[in-house]
Amino acid sequence: MRVSWSSLLADVRACEKCALCRGRMNVVPGEGDPNADLMFIGEGPGAEEDRLGRPFVGRSGELLTKMIHAIGLERSEVYICNVVKCRPPGNRNPAPEEAEMCLPYLRGQVALVRPKVIALLGRVACQYTLREQISITRDHGRWFERKGVWMMPTFHPAALLRDPAKKREAWEDFQKLRDKLREVQHG
Ligand code: URA
């Protein structure tokens, strides 16, 4: 079902469906162009995101922003969000029940934005969207089509900060994102 932005955001902001709400300073719903052709889905907010209520604004976010610029786009031209909207303590992975509780919000965001291309940042984002056992090392840069939307697993920027040697492959993935976007926009 297609909800409205205002009801979706009101529901996310008031959400107490899982224990993550108890530790949050701010809910981090997502931001960017509500009609973007390209969407980025991460895992969940970190400390800086929790503090500011905005996705990808810490160190990982700085790198993601640079990579978005490198394919000729601004953050305001894409939509950026996460699987879970509240910070998991100590930046652990969201627990399956936390992710499942939060997924209707992500589905609502995808239904409203109607992106043509989705970049899945890291294994957690893949796990709850593609519903397949994804290995980022093996499957990054591969296209998966779901209901007419092109989805591609790629490295989480935090993984690139931990292992800069992966940046070359990540850059190739981002070039594929740029090319796919051109293809779907111009036919
Ligand atoms: N890591 C994520 O997965 N999401 C954010 O918003 C920030 C860091």
> What CATH number does the domain containing 69 carry?
3.40.470.10
Instruction: Decide if 68 is inside a domain.
Output: yes
Cα 187 to averaged position of ligand 1 atoms, centre (Å): 32
Cα 85 to averaged position of ligand 1 atoms, centre (Å): 10
Paired strand residues for 104: none
Instruction: Decide if 1 is inside a domain.
Output: no
Q: Is 40 in contact with 33 (CB distance < 8 Å)?
A: no
Instruction: Decide if 14 is inside a domain.
Output: no
Instruction: Decide if 97 is inside a domain.
Output: yes
- The answer for residues whose C-beta is within 8 angstroms of residue 6's C-beta and 6 or more apart is none
- The answer for residues whose C-beta is within 8 angstroms of residue 132's C-beta and 6 or more apart is 126, 144
Instruction: Decide if 34 is inside a domain.
Output: yes
Instruction: Decide if 5 is inside a domain.
Output: no
For the chain, what percentages of helix, strand and coil (3-state, to nearest 5) are there?
50, 15, 35
Domain span at residue 67 reads 27-186
pLDDT of residue 1: 57
Cα 157 to averaged position of ligand 1 atoms, centre (Å): 9
Rounded Cα gap, residues 39 and 86, in angstroms = 19
Pocket of ligand 1 (CB under 6 A): 42-46, 49, 55-56, 58, 60-61, 82
Taking the whole predicted model, whether its pTM rises above 0.85 is answered as yes
pLDDT of residue 38: 98
Kindly give the confidence (pLDDT) of every residue in the chain, 187 residues in length, as a single tens digit, with 9 standing for 90 and above.
Answer: 568 999 999 999 999 999 999 999 999 999 999 999 999 999 999 999 999 999 999 999 999 999 999 999 999 999 999 999 999 999 999 999 999 999 999 999 999 999 999 999 999 999 999 988 999 999 999 999 999 999 999 999 999 999 999 999 999 999 999 999 999 998 7
Instruction: Decide if 137 is inside a domain.
Output: yes
Q: Which of 111, 185, 99, 97 is nearest to 147 (CA)?
A: 111
**How far is CA 31 from each of CA 28, 77, 127, 183, rounded to the nearest angstrom?**
9, 10, 22, 24
Instruction: Decide if 120 is inside a domain.
Output: yes
pLDDT of residue 3: 86
pLDDT of residue 131: 86
Q: What is the count of structural domains for the chain?
A: 1
